[in-house]
Amino acid sequence: MTRRSNGVTLQQLHYFVEVAEERSISAAADVLYVAQPTMSAAMKDLETRVGRALLVRSARGVSLTTDGTEFLRYAKQVVEQMALLEQRYLGRPPSRRLLAVSAQHYSFAVDAFVRMVKGTGAPEYEFSLRETRTWEIIEDVRTLRSELGLLYRNDFNRNVIDKLLRDSGLVFHPLFLAQPHIFVSRRNPLASRKRATLDDLADLPRLTFDQGANNSFYFAEEILSTLSSKREIRVSDRATIFNLMIGLDGYTISTGIISDDLDPGIVAVPLDVDERIEIGWIGHSAIPLTEQAQRYLEEVRAVVEEAGVELLG
The answer to whether 211 and 135 are in contact (CB under 8 A) is: yes
Which domains, from first to last, does the chain contain? 10-79 (1.10.10.10), 97-175+278-307 (3.40.190.10), 178-277 (3.40.190.10)
Main-chain phi, psi angles of 25, to 5 degrees: -70, -45
Arithmetic mean of pLDDT, 180-188: 93
Question: In terms of C-beta density within 10 A (0-12 exposed, 13-18 middle, 19 or more buried), how is residue 116 classed?
Answer: buried
Burial of 51 (0-12, 13-18, 19+ CB in 10 A): exposed
Q: What pLDDT shows up at residue 84? A: 64
Give the integer Cα–Cα distance in Å for 112 and 251.
Answer: 24
pLDDT tens sequence across 201-227:
999 999 999 988 877 889 999 988 888
Measured in whole angstroms, the distance separating CA 48 from the mean position of its chain's CA atoms is: 32
What would you report as the CA-atom Rg of the chain, rounded to the nearest whole angstrom?
A: 22
- Residue-level pLDDT at 6: 63
Q: ∠ CA 105-68-87 to the nearest 5 degrees?
A: 80
pLDDT tens for each residue of 103-154: 999 999 999 999 999 988 777 788 999 999 999 999 989 888 889 999 999 9
The reported pTM is 0.74
68-94 pLDDT tens trace: 988 988 888 788 777 767 666 666 655
Which helix (H) or strand (E) covers residue 238, if one does?
helix 238-248
